[in-house]
Amino acid sequence: MRILHTGDIHLDSPFAGLDISCAQKRRRELRETFSRMMRYAREERVDMVLIAGDLFDGAFVTRETVILLLREFASLECPVIIAPGNHDPYEKGGIWEKTVFPKNVHIFKENTLTKIDFDDLGCTVYGYGFTDTYENECPVKGTVEDNGRINILVAHGDVMSPISSYAPLPVSVLKAFGADYVALGHIHNTDAANEALEGIGAYCGCPEGRDFGETGEKGALEVHIDDETVTVTFVPFAKRAYITHSVSIDGAESLLTVKTAVDNAVRALSDGKENLVRLILRGSVSPSLNLNVEALSEDKRGLFHLEIEDATSPTWNGDSLKNDPGIRGELYRTLLPKLESEHEEERKTASDALRYALAALAGEDILEI
């Protein structure tokens, strides 16, 4: 038996970190990624599609999205089983109730465990749905009814925290339940949670990252269940990836050096997918260096989105300033206790003050700094 396990799709997400036209494009791409997953399910002739919650990002669902879902689900020959999550709970009068889904779509409507039998597959799918944003109780109890069948549990919840407000699911409870596979949703960055599950199931993660909290390769899971063995394979589906990368510009004294470092980093990160990249500039740099990160990231260098964060610390050429008999030296000597303060904020304020003052003394336009 072969299953496509997805979830946390968050259709119609606002993509608030991007400008309006990029955000709109990402919403469209997210729909396309969903379509690609459904096409994969059709072409690979999987026996079942599981959606482990958060198909929608919220109560606002566009008409375009509903039309797309109905078309994609109707084009599948296999059942689609949906367990609504905290972002798209099964509420009275909500999207799930209002929409007439094709007959192959099964939705868990209650926040207690129920089951659906698929006799032609010899399979029973257990699950529940969120009926509200929060779910403080663990909805999974007891054990599977018939060990002779393929038993699957589809659940949106949190295996990492026993006091979670999003359906706490202790691994011990899931183990005791005894399903052949637990198809989970809710945790988008899956590594630690999947390790904690010790092979009894997996979180599928989201098919597209939506901000810099969701970096790296994204996709869905294909699950093969044969007599005794369960094999889980990651299938990449994301159109683009969010990537956060540190760039050392230690010792940089000119903007040209910084630009070159940014160019090189972007080149190394480009894989033809027009990704979304956040570069973090690190290191100690000359205080006279005018690191205008907005200007530096204006040229997207072929990326879909580029943002640059300045996390450098200034190095003061203390010796020459300290011995400077003029106003620069006086300024430095006055600020020195604060430049060496143990409080980071005070150090930052003092170094900003020094930078502005040195720039003003050099006749630079300090508004440009």
> Measuring CA to CA, how many Å separate 134 from each of 127, 156, 164, 254?
17, 11, 9, 52
Binding part of the chain for Mn ion, among 49-57, 104-112, 117-125, 293-301 by CB under 5 A, reads 49-57
If one asks whether residue 54 binds Mn ion (CB under 5 A), the answer comes out as: yes
Helix (H), strand (E) counts: the chain: 10, 16
Report strand pairing: 230-236 vs 242-248.
unpaired
Given the complex with Mn ion, which of 8 and 307 has the nearer CB atom? 8
> Measuring CA to CA, how many Å separate 154 from each of 33, 228, 345, 359?
22, 19, 48, 61
Binding part of the chain for Mn ion, among 46-54, 126-134, 208-216, 331-339 by CB under 5 A, reads 46-54
Q: Which residue has the tokens 């955000």?
A: 23
Please state the closest distance from residue 179 (CB atom) to Mn ion, in A.
21
Please state the closest distance from residue 53 (CB atom) to Mn ion, in A.
7
Distance of CA 229 to the CA centre of its chain: 30
Query: What residues contact residue 364 under an 8 Å CB cut-off, 6+ apart?
Result: 290
Given the complex with Mn ion, which of 8 and 72 has the nearer CB atom? 8
> Around Cβ 343, how many Cβ atoms within 10 Å?
10
277: which strand partners?
A: 243, 306
> Which 8-state DSSP code applies to residue 367?
G
Cα of first residue to Cα of last residue in the chain, in angstroms, is 62
Q: How many residues bind Mn ion (CB under 5 A)?
A: 2
Residue whose C-alpha is closest to residue 199's, from 169, 238, 161, 229: 229
Binding part of the chain for Mn ion, among 52-60, 214-222, 252-260, 275-283 by CB under 5 A, reads 52-60
Tokens for 334, please give them.
């006055």
For Mn ion, the nearest residue by Cβ is: 54
Please state the closest distance from residue 215 (CB atom) to Mn ion, in A.
16
In degrees rounded to 5, what are phi and psi of residue 187?
Answer: -90, 120
What whole-number distance in Å separates Cα of residue 204 and Cα of residue 188?
8
Binding part of the chain for Mn ion, among 4-12, 107-115, 298-306, 313-321 by CB under 5 A, reads 4-12
Residues in region 6-35 near Mn ion by CB under 5 A: 8
Given the complex with Mn ion, which of 8 and 12 has the nearer CB atom? 8
Given the complex with Mn ion, which of 153 and 308 has the nearer CB atom? 153
Please state the closest distance from residue 356 (CB atom) to Mn ion, in A.
44
Given the complex with Mn ion, which of 129 and 314 has the nearer CB atom? 129
Please state the closest distance from residue 128 (CB atom) to Mn ion, in A.
16
Please state the closest distance from residue 267 (CB atom) to Mn ion, in A.
33
> Around Cβ 124, how many Cβ atoms within 10 Å?
20
Please state the closest distance from residue 214 (CB atom) to Mn ion, in A.
10
Please state the closest distance from residue 187 (CB atom) to Mn ion, in A.
8
Given the complex with Mn ion, which of 128 and 316 has the nearer CB atom? 128
Tokens for 102, please give them.
């094709």
Please state the closest distance from residue 185 (CB atom) to Mn ion, in A.
6
> Which 8-state DSSP code applies to residue 116?
E
Given the complex with Mn ion, which of 51 and 303 has the nearer CB atom? 51
Given the complex with Mn ion, which of 205 and 314 has the nearer CB atom? 205
Given the complex with Mn ion, which of 8 and 158 has the nearer CB atom? 8
Binding part of the chain for Mn ion, among 1-9, 21-29, 175-183, 248-256 by CB under 5 A, reads 1-9
What is the binding site for Mn ion (CB under 5 A)?
8, 54
